Structure 1
Amino acid sequence: MRGQAVAEPSALPGAVGGRAAQLARTGLRHGWTTGACATAASTAAYTALLTGEFPDPVTVTLPKGQQPGFALAVEARGDGWATAGIVKDAGDDPDVTHGALVRATVRAAAPGSGVLFRAGPGVGTVTRAGLPLPVGEPAINPVPRKMMREHIAAVAALHGGSGDVEIEIAVDNGEEIARSTWNPRLGILGGLSILGTTGIVVPYSCSAWIDSIRRGVDVARAAGRTHVAGCTGSTSEKVVMAVHGLPEDALLDMGDFAGAVLKYLRRHPVERLTIAGGFAKLSKLAAGHLDLHSARSQVDKGFLARLARTGGADDDLTAAVAAANTGLEAVRLCSARGVPLGDLVAAAARDTARGVLREAAVAVDVICIDRAGTIVGRVGP
């Protein structure tokens, strides 16, 4: 068995509206979240516990009504327990959990206990406040828990069970995979989180990354941090730590998603935000772009030339900036002539950030760096 879903999400009724049509045009496939896989596996395991037979494929209902079927990669039963496993298919999304084997072991629990959740090997445990689960709980998020409870109740009603069960979710090699995620920084230790609000992975939506940014803000606030930093990468994180001495749990790996940081802080403010990143990316923020990915925004040399002009560039320098091969070349040209283009970009990026934050009382400073981590532009709050 391949352990992949039988039906493509884009072919399912009501599949994510216009996004499904867009993906159909590009040929990209939707995938399934770890939460959907855990729900399908626990449904199959509980069915086998009550009937002795594993449904294969097993069909589940997702939060928006889609009903995909999942093939089983693992089936095992013993005295009072049953295990089913499903290989996660993330479709065409570059998801680090694509191909991971998600296992659910269901055991009978004490009468009246309802559904209890346990973290098996490869699933993390919450160790810091600020996440949507209490400290000490398995990192199985609220929507997957709700999905599993609903499906356990449906199986119990169909086959005469009590619905009182313990569900242990495990992910093969999950602890190793989790090292490539935000989990250690968020205080989720020992493995992966079981995620998903719709059950569907939309290729290149980067919803997990954006959700991690939000959880990073939540954890920082719960830890009493009043100063956080949104950084485009590891080099800018090192610079911020050196400049401001911020602890790791105050650092937000925003990547290209400056807008996600700013919009969430608008609703959940802290006293101070540092935005740090490569000059080229932050020049896009300065020009008003909130998504800094190269496929969705470009360095605007004309914009840089106009900024340089405001900083005192003459006609020749302005023309040279407009014709520069890269943003960093424009900075070097201006630096040699005493025009502070880096500082001007930092100030314009701060203006964009303040516009998104609106009335939120968040002081903003910006640090622009080159590839070596040298600060080439800076503005205070």
Structure 2
Amino acid sequence: MSQGASPLVPPRDKRGTRTGFTTGACAAAAAKAAARVLVRGGALTEVETTLPNRDRVTFALHRCETDGERAVCSVIKDAGDDPDCTHGAELVAEVRLTGDGEVTLAGGQGVGVVTKEGLGLEVGGPAINPVPRRNIIDMVREELPEGRGAQVTIHVPRGEEMAKETLNARLGILGGISILGTSGIVRPYSTAAYKASVVQAIDVARHRGNVDLVLTTGGKSEKYAMEMMPHLPEEAFIQVGDFIGVGVKHGARVKAERIHVVGMMGKLSKMADGKLQTHAAGSDVNMALLAQLARESGASDELVREVEGANTARHVLELCAARGLTDITTRVCRRVVEHLSKHAGPGPQVRAYLVDFNGTLLGQHPAPPRQEEAA
């Protein structure tokens, strides 16, 4: 299969499905081109390369220059319709030939440096993941005569700035972005990629000795969770998005002692219904369940009917608050803990916290210890 990668980055469609290419695939193409220019001479405008998934792809080159001792080639990353902060990034490969038969790989400007353990990468080395590392080396080797080696350095101009939009600093990757990609292809809004990032963040947190994991459903809930638990380090807080099931199961797998789940009424209502994936397109709020919980909280028949006909979980919260019925949030949290504990197994204790859009804690389970017990 052969595909083309445009030299210009086309506009993204927020609802589109156009695939793109990973930073690793772009870096491998640039490195292959630079090695070819050094070995064969001349200049290139494009290069065909093999992705980690074995697809053959032709990349247009943004830069291609050599002075005979080194060559520099670059590719502009097209992430397709994925909302990737590295969309439009220039992946630059600088290659020098050696006589030792080895291909070495280094990170230059804009490529992050690994400063902490737990990522499966060498501390002090570049944040170039194993699959793209192998792909870059393999593509360069294809161009080298027998017995020759190469020194390859990957640069990403503006990489340090782009990294501010990622979790790299929290993971201990400083000074730039990571070179990523297991297949070479970026799929818009890839659930696999997001799940992998959740697993990686949990691994890092546990590797650093954190026995408490705080799983949040988004940026706001994470901010409020940090305010509630200021004694925990930043890496203990992990945005799982819609994939609470992935977070809880992996947290149990790596032997976390406590898993704190923090979110707002909509997401927690879905978890209370036993849903492990809470995306709006994949699961609806069960109004019948919320009506049942409202009744158990002492709601009148009239309020129960209003809850059954509510538009959203937030609407349910407003209806109950207007009647002074606050216990429903605690009951939602209790149901969340019951369901998630089944998936966590006997290891970690699961705790749930329901906050509103202003960060006010509306309900939690288990209940906090009383003052005299905590003293």
| TM-score, normalisation: structure 2 | 0.88
Identify the residue that residue 299 of structure 1 maps to in structure 2: 285
CA–CA separation in structure 1 for the residues paired with 2:95 and 2:326: 67
Q: What amino acid is aligned across from residue 88 of structure 1 in structure 2?
A: K
Matches within 5 A, 1:204-353: 204-244=189-229, 245-335=231-321, 336-338=323-325, 340-353=327-340
1:166 pairs with 2:151: yes
Shift of 1:298: 2.7
Identify the residue that residue 100 of structure 1 maps to in structure 2: 89
1:150 pairs with 2:138: yes
Identify the residue that residue 126 of structure 1 maps to in structure 2: 114
Shift of 1:6: 5.8
Report SS of the residue matched to 2:74. Answer: strand
**Cα distance change of structure 1 residues 27 and 321 upon mapping to structure 2, 3 Å threshold:** closer
CA–CA separation in structure 1 for the residues paired with 2:278 and 2:150: 46
Q: How many residues in Structure 1 have an aligned counterpart in Structure 2?
A: 355
Give a deviation string over 1:248-296, Cα, whole Å, max 9, x none: 0111122222123123224323111111111111111222222323233
Report SS of the residue matched to 1:94. Answer: coil
Is the contact between residue 199 and residue 247 of structure 2 (CA under 8 Å) also seen in structure 1?
A: yes
Shift of 1:334: 2.8
Report SS of the residue matched to 1:192. Answer: coil
Shift of 1:221: 1.2
CA–CA separation in structure 2 for the residues paired with 1:59 and 1:355: 50
CA–CA separation in structure 1 for the residues paired with 2:78 and 2:142: 25
Identify the residue that residue 352 of structure 2 maps to in structure 1: 366
**Cα distance change of structure 1 residues 286 and 190 upon mapping to structure 2, 3 Å threshold:** same
Report SS of the residue matched to 2:5. Answer: coil
**Cα distance change of structure 1 residues 181 and 373 upon mapping to structure 2, 3 Å threshold:** same
Match of 2:163 among 178, 183, 202: 178
CA–CA separation in structure 1 for the residues paired with 2:48 and 2:362: 55
CA–CA separation in structure 1 for the residues paired with 2:353 and 2:98: 55
Identify the residue that residue 53 of structure 2 maps to in structure 1: 64
Report SS of the residue matched to 2:291. Answer: helix
Shift of 1:228: 1.2
Match of 2:183 among 174, 184, 198: 198
Is the contact between residue 29 and residue 49 of structure 2 (CA under 8 Å) also seen in structure 1?
A: yes
Give a deviation string over 1:7-58, Cα, whole Å, max 9, x none: 9xxxxxxxxxxxxxxxxxx962111111111111111111111111344421
| TM-score, normalisation: structure 1 | 0.87
**Any gaps of 5 or more consecutive residues in structure 1?**
8-25
Is the contact between residue 304 and residue 321 of structure 1 (CA under 8 Å) also seen in structure 2?
A: yes
Shift of 1:243: 2.7
Identify the residue that residue 40 of structure 1 maps to in structure 2: 29
Of all paired residues, the percent bearing the same amino acid is 41
Shift of 1:174: 1.0
1:136 pairs with 2:124: yes
Return structure 1 stretches of 4+ with deviation > 4 angstroms: none
CA–CA separation in structure 2 for the residues paired with 1:96 and 1:163: 37
Give a deviation string over 1:194-221, Cα, whole Å, max 9, x none: 0000111111114443322222111111
Q: What amino acid is aligned across from residue 124 of structure 2 in structure 1?
A: G
Q: What amino acid is aligned across from residue 288 of structure 2 in structure 1?
A: G
Q: What amino acid is aligned across from residue 346 of structure 1 in structure 2?
A: C
Report SS of the residue matched to 1:162. Answer: coil
CA–CA separation in structure 2 for the residues paired with 1:362 and 1:43: 48
Pick which of 309-318 and 173-182 moved more.
309-318
Is the contact between residue 297 and residue 325 of structure 2 (CA under 8 Å) also seen in structure 1?
A: no
Identify the residue that residue 13 of structure 1 maps to in structure 2: none
**Cα distance change of structure 1 residues 312 and 49 upon mapping to structure 2, 3 Å threshold:** same
1:89 pairs with 2:74: no
CA–CA separation in structure 2 for the residues paired with 1:333 and 1:149: 61
**Cα distance change of structure 1 residues 369 and 27 upon mapping to structure 2, 3 Å threshold:** closer
CA–CA separation in structure 2 for the residues paired with 1:162 and 1:288: 60
Is the contact between residue 113 and residue 127 of structure 2 (CA under 8 Å) also seen in structure 1?
A: yes
Shift of 1:74: 0.9
**Any gaps of 5 or more consecutive residues in structure 2?**
8-14, 368-375
1:357 pairs with 2:344: yes
Identify the residue that residue 373 of structure 2 maps to in structure 1: none
Report SS of the residue matched to 2:151. Answer: strand
